[in-house]
Amino acid sequence: MDVVMLSRLQFAAATMFHFLFVPLTLGLSVIIAYMETKYVKTGDEVYLRMTKFWGKLFLINFALGIVTGITLEFQFGTNWSRYSAYVGDIFGSLLAIEATAAFFLESTFIGIWVFGWKKLSAKAHAAVMWVVAGAGNMSAIWILTANGWMQHPVGYTIRNGRAELTDFAAVVFNKFAILEFFHMIPAAFILGAFFVMGISAYHLLKKQHIDLFTRSFRIALVFGLVFSIFIVIEGDMHGVHVAETQPAKLAAMEAHWETGTRAPIILFAIPDEENERNRIEIGKIPGILSFLGYHDFNAEVRGLKDFPREERPPVLITLFSFRTMVALGTLFPLLTIIGWFRRNRLMESPLYLKIMVWAIPLPYIAIELGWVLAEVGRQPWIVYGLMKTSDAASPVAGTQVLFSLIGFFLVYGLLGAAGFYLMAKNAKAGPGKAPAESVTMKMDESPEVVSG
Amino acid sequence: MVLQSIWFFLWGLLWALFFMTDGFDFGVGTLYPFLGKTDYDKRVMINSIGPFWDGNEVWLITAGGVTFAAFPLVYAVMFSSLYSALMLILFALILRGVAFEFRGHVDDPRWRKVWDVCIFVGSFTPALLFGVAFANIFQGIPFDRQGVYHGTLLTLLNPYGLLGGVFFLCLFLVHGALWLTVKTEGDLHERSVSAAGKLWGVLLLVAVSFLIASAYSTRLYDNYVAHPVLFSVILITVAALVGVRVYLAKGAFFKAWLASALTIVGSIFFGIIGLFPALFPSSIKAKYSLTAFNASSSPLTLKIMLIVVILFIPIVVAYQIWTYHLFKGKVMEEDLEY
């Protein structure tokens, strides 16, 4: 394999692994901050135990998210140096702003939260978690602004053989990036909510810590319900914008080959990229794609054949990641609406609880596939319409990349296994036996429990 | 010109701050198997850096990010040239970071042993390799006009590069040992004081060797000879290094640590000043070198980033100092109770 392919594999593996942890950090931090605030306001000790239980899981996840994120920034230099030199003027500054304005805050304050139980008042300690949550989500804004620029470059001119910044405001207020933000953040909140609901359901099924987990479930349920409905509406706006800015991606998402009006949606398709058609098409409904893309049943939608072969994204991956994401995205509001009607009878709804335990991985699958869609669907471009991925890689030896790729698989494989083991162990163990206050408190309050 | 020069020194400053802050936790992590005789000692050592290491490491992200933003060409050529060395550093940092979090979760000596090794390897490797990398930058890297690197990982392990690695390692070991003298009590404190004293002797020897070797292996001194007033930076750094020993002897441990912090910043600036205006000099031909003037971003980006840095870095420094203040004093036994 060549350097480009190896580097793509490595970046994909590193990003997708990193992204197993980021959404939970974003979603769970807000939920925990809310729980801790409830504790400060009510003085109810259950909220404190809740905060500490979810906090423990949060910290395992957080550690993995942080360390896997560090490599990503540097991979632009190690593996994509031609890209970095070409767009650093814009893309690099967004990453640098993310570090200075947000990531610093998040990393410093998480240390304070972990070790500060005795050093700070309850109120200040809860505020620290809000800072962590806010800073994490701020980070996401800048990262998504950077990605949004790769999807739909704006505010630049080509000068001195590279893309140079001409309009910073245009970059920051890039509509594509803003839509990505309002898609990604709710997705992360949904994931956090399903994580909390699923683990709570596990304990409720075992009839342990019923009070604590019923309340946890309900808090998460509200988050899940609100954002899973929001994301459906936002997803539609996002789709319209993709139709406008990345027509080739839209065509691949729908395996749509022929340009035409009243473009159909095909419920199930297996594309045949070689012969520019679909091998199997089931359930063709005319006009729907035109409507989804342009909110007009008669609108013309460009088909894949309209684009030169070498400028089409891989159709199969784009199509299936989009379909699966949408299917799951439809399931989440249904599950949370059912939950809303059962919220006062959770203990009498074992089937629903069981489903919610098994639903934990679903938002993970949806959110990972969402990124596969965004990134693979943008191919062959690394910056849409501006630079091809094949022109972006570093002039390094393939063996070097092969070794680092193997290193990534080994290290991430081991970390993934250890992390999953610890998450499962702590999630199953639950919040520890209820009050005999002094003992529990001491154990929980000691930073040692989490750090040494 | 002015803007690019400002950015050159900001770039150096951010790297210096990274080494100053993360340096002591690299040091503590490297000393960890040697000074941590018991599990209790080990937990104290981890907790002495627990609240800080994560925030410290963001200086690396910031230094890297600012290199990307202000000098994209440097970012591109530097990190692709140093590919394998940087990958090793990153893997080490990954293992170290999770080790701090994971170690205490399972009460089994074998489990702990695994993460103990990760803490050591994960601290030692970056300490050494950052030194190797920077010493090689000081003497020039074999890359051509297209920014293509002609060498391997082994190319970097030349005598001057290795000396630089040992120099950084010693700087961080002293820095870490001093941190432990501030944060610990009892036996561990005594051992840290003794280690700091001995390591200081080694550091002095290595530092002097590095200063002399730099005259032969690099052109760093050209700028100093042209502007002799710059020699004051070296003098201040040496004075700070001597100050470490003086304060250590007096038992003024925190002052000794501050002097060590100044020594690290001074050591980085010794190189940065010598390099100016080059950020990444080529050893093949001087004209291929990437400098503040031929490798920078557009003036607009430099201006925007300058505003960002002037606005946010003081805030970051303020809340990090507040964190250090909040967790000042010894790591107490009660902090470790199960």
Tell me if A287 is assigned to some domain: no
Identify which has the larger pLDDT, A358 or B151.
A358
Closest CA to A448 of B189, B47, B10: B47
Q: What is the pLDDT of residue A436?
A: 46
C-alpha to C-alpha distance for A380 and B138, rounded to whole angstroms: 39
CA distance A33 to chain B (A): 19
Q: Is A162 helix (H, G, I), strand (E, B) or coil?
A: strand
Q: Which residues of B touch A159 (CB under 8 A)?
A: 298
B241 located within any domain: no
Residue A422 has pLDDT above 90, yes or no: yes
If chain B, 338 residues long, is cut into consecutive pieces of 10 residues, what is the mean pLDDT of each piece? Answer: 92 96 95 91 90 90 93 93 92 93 89 94 96 95 90 91 96 96 92 95 96 93 93 96 95 94 96 93 90 91 94 92 88 60
Confidence at residue A441, expressed as pLDDT on a 0 to 100 scale: 41
CB under 8 Å to B205, separation ≥6 — which residues? Answer: none
3-state secondary structure A312-350: CCCHHHHHHHHHHHHHHHHHHHHHHHHHHHHCCCHHHCH
Using one digit for the tens of pLDDT, what is the confidence trace for A218-275? Answer: 999 999 999 999 998 888 888 888 888 988 998 888 888 888 888 888 888 888 888 8
Would the pLDDT of A450 be above 90? no
- Distance from B243 to chain A by nearest Cα, in Å? 30
Tokens of B13: 């400053």
- pLDDT value of position A4: 92
Which residues in chain A touch residue B55, judged by CB atoms under 8 angstroms apart? 104, 107-108, 111
Task: Write down the pLDDT at residue A439.
Answer: 41
**Number of A:B CB contacts under 8 A?**
261
Tell me if B312 and A100 make a contact (CB, 8 A cut-off).
yes
A433 band by pLDDT with thresholds 50, 70 and 90:
low
Instruction: Report if residue B268 sits inside a domain.
Output: no
Residue B74 lies in a domain: yes
Domain that holds residue B292: 2-221+276-336
Type of residue at A171: V
From B65's Cα to the closest Cα of chain A, the distance in A is 4
Closest alpha carbon within chain B to A91 = B69
Kindly state whether residue B231 falls inside one of the protein's structural domains.
no
Which positions in chain B touch A404 (Cβ < 8 Å)?
Answer: 83-84, 87
State the nearest Cα–Cα gap between B14 and chain A, in angstroms.
11
Query: Of the candidates B79, B98, B103, which has its C-beta nearest A415's C-beta?
Result: B98
In sequence order, what DSSP letters do the residues of B1-47 get, joined into one string? -HHHHHHHHHHHHHHHHHHHHHHHHHHHHHHHHHH--SHHHHHHHHH
pLDDT digits (tens, 9 = 90+) for A277-333: 888 888 888 888 888 888 888 888 888 888 898 899 999 999 999 999 999 999 999
Instruction: Pick B301's closest partner by Cβ from A77, A165, A449.
Output: A165
In-domain check, residue B226: no
Chain B positions in Cβ-Cβ contact with residue A81 (cut-off 8 Å): 75-77, 79-80, 147
Query: How many structural domains comprise chain A?
Result: 1
With cut-offs at 50, 70 and 90, classify the pLDDT of residue A434.
Answer: low
pLDDT at A446 over 80: no
CB contact under 8 A, B98 and A164: no
Q: Is residue A212 part of a domain?
A: yes
Does the distance separating the beta carbons of A396 and B149 come in below 8 Å? yes
Q: Is residue A286 part of a domain?
A: no
pLDDT of residue B336: 57
**What is the least distance, in Å, from the CA of A52 to any CA of chain B?**
15
Indicate whether A416 belongs to any domain: yes
> Three-class SS of residue A184?
helix
Strands, E, within A73-215: which ranges?
A: 156-159, 162-165
Of A76, A111, A419, the CB nearest to B54: A111
Long-range contacts of B273-277 (CB under 8 A, 24+ apart): B273/B220, B273/B223, B273/B224, B273/B230, B273/B233, B274/B138, B274/B214, B274/B218, B274/B219, B274/B220, B274/B221, B274/B222, B274/B223, B274/B224, B275/B137, B275/B138, B275/B220, B276/B5, B276/B8, B276/B223, B277/B4, B277/B5, B277/B8
- Confidence (pLDDT) at B177: 96
Interface test with chain B among A84, A128, A139, A423, by most B beta carbons within 10 Å:
A84
Query: Which of A97-106, A153-162, A425-434 shows the lowest mean pLDDT across its residues?
Result: A425-434
pLDDT band at A123 (very low <50, low <70, confident <90, very high): very high
One-letter amino acid for residue B268 of the chain: I
* Per-residue pLDDT at A84: 92
Residue A266, domain member (yes or no): no
Lowest mean pLDDT among A191-195, A434-438, B173-177: A434-438
| C-alpha distances out from residue A383 to A3, A103, A254, A388, B168, Å | 19, 25, 22, 7, 39
Give the nearest partner residue to A404 out of B67, B87, B300, using CB atoms: B87
Q: Is residue A360 part of a domain?
A: yes
State the Cα angle at B62 between B56 and B68, rounded to 5°: 155
Residue B56's nearest CA partner among B7, B95, B18 is B18
Largest CA distance in chain A: 72
Given a cut of 50, is residue A437 above it in pLDDT?
Answer: no
The pLDDT value given to residue B262: 96
Q: For A400-410, how does the pLDDT look when each residue is reduced to its tens digit (9 = 90+)? A: 899 999 999 99
Let me know if residue B314 belongs to a domain: yes
Q: What is the mean pLDDT of residues A2-16?
A: 93
Instruction: Tell me the average pLDDT of chain A.
Output: 89
| Token reading at B142 | 């074999």
Domain that holds residue A207: 3-259+302-435
